[in-house]
Amino acid sequence: MEEITRKSLLYKSGLGFWCINHVQGCSHGCRYPCYAWMMAHSRGRVETYDDWCHPSLVANAEELLRKELERMRNRPENIHLCLTTDPFMYGYQEVTGLTLRLVELINSYGITCSTLTKGIMPVELADSSRFSPDNTLGISLVSLNEDFRKKWEPGAAPYSNRIGALRELHDLGCTTLVHIEPYPTPNIINQNLSELLETVEFADEIWFGGWNYNNIVKEYADYKKFYDEQSAIVSRFLSTRLKILK
Ligand code: SF4
């Protein structure tokens, strides 16, 4: 795997939370399209989509992060991994290994981590001798249909493996999250949101969001009504589950 060096790693994102991205590019190659790819391309960091799908590891990430955390007077309570790449990139053990070392480093400063992946969340994260039990471990999941994944998230982990790994971490006592975004309209794929929700009912948190990246959804005449209905399904599911848990 290729390597690059950076001058800084930790930053506060425009969304208001602290974040690190210790890889440039992402082999998952999402075609929604990927916002991170569009940004990297427009800023001249990556020339082609093919280059984007051949990621480079930030070789000095640990050294940089340690220095940055040491220098900070008011350290954040939480750091997110990642906004512009995937921390557990499918098939890239080097990425997973580096991510685990960075999470361990961050946790050693009493800072929790939130992670979000379309890869396989490693079971090591349940090891409380290395990692904070207060980390939040999340997957992105917008369908259960493998044909959809192959078309829209071609390099990402198969859904059953992605869900299975998160389920295992949940069973080991970790806090888990499922991010259902960007959820497709029926002109992209006709599917049953309730079935997806039932499959991940074990997750501690479920977030839902529409497909805002291009105009495909607007070709579906009733897309606003559709998203209102899907949001209502999620709300009903979450409130029923809350009652069961009580
Ligand atoms: S997993 Fe995330 S960063 Fe990677 S290509 Fe897909 S949307 Fe982009």
Strand partners, 18: 12, 79
Q: What is the pLDDT of residue 88?
A: 98
Q: What is the mean pLDDT of residues 211-235?
A: 92
User: Nearest C-alpha to atom 7 of ligand 1 is from which residue?
Assistant: 34
User: Nearest C-alpha to atom 3 of ligand 1 is from which residue?
Assistant: 85
The minimum-distance atom of ligand 1 relative to the CA of 37 is 8
Q: How much distance in Å is there from the Cα of 73 to the middle of ligand 1?
A: 32
Cα separation values, 218 from 19, 191, 209, 215, 233, Å:
32, 18, 15, 5, 21
For the record, the structure tokens of 184 come out as 């497709």
The minimum-distance atom of ligand 1 relative to the CA of 26 is 4
The minimum-distance atom of ligand 1 relative to the CA of 85 is 3
Q: What is the pLDDT of residue 238?
A: 93
For the record, the structure tokens of 124 come out as 């090591």
Q: How much distance in Å is there from the Cα of 119 to the middle of ligand 1?
A: 10
**CB atoms near residue 184 (< 10 Å):** 20
Residue 208's H or E segment, with its range, is: strand 205-210
Answer for the pair 20, 65: CB distance below 8 angstroms, yes or no: yes
Q: What does R_g of the chain's alpha carbons equal in angstroms?
A: 18
- What pTM, to 2 d.p., does this model score? 0.95
Helix, strand, or coil (residue 95)? helix
Q: What are the pLDDT digits (tens) for 161-216?
A: 999 999 999 999 999 999 999 999 999 999 999 999 999 999 999 999 999 877 89
Helices 93-108, 61-71: inter-axial angle, 10-degree rounding: 20
Answer for the pair 21, 10: CB distance below 8 angstroms, yes or no: no
Answer for the pair 89, 28: CB distance below 8 angstroms, yes or no: yes
In the predicted structure, residue 246 carries a pLDDT above the cut 60 = no
- Domain segments of the chain: what residues? 2-245
Cα separation values, 20 from 64, 117, 198, 208, 211, Å:
11, 14, 32, 23, 24
Strand partners, 3: 57
Residue in the structure block whose two tokens are 């290994």: 97
Q: What is the pLDDT of residue 240?
A: 86
What is the signed CA dihedral for 29, 35, 39, 44, rounded to 10 degrees? Answer: 20
Indicate the CATH number for domain 2-245: 3.80.30
Mean pLDDT of the chain: 95
Which among 147, 199, 157 has a CA at the least distance from the CA of 178?
Answer: 199
Residue in the structure block whose two tokens are 């071609």: 154
Cα separation values, 186 from 143, 219, 220, 225, 236, Å:
12, 10, 7, 12, 21
User: What residues are in contact with ligand 1 under a 6 Å CB criterion?
Assistant: 26, 28-30, 34, 36-37, 85-86, 118
Query: Could you tell me how far CA 161 lies from the centroid of its own chain?
Result: 15
Q: What is the pLDDT of residue 183?
A: 97
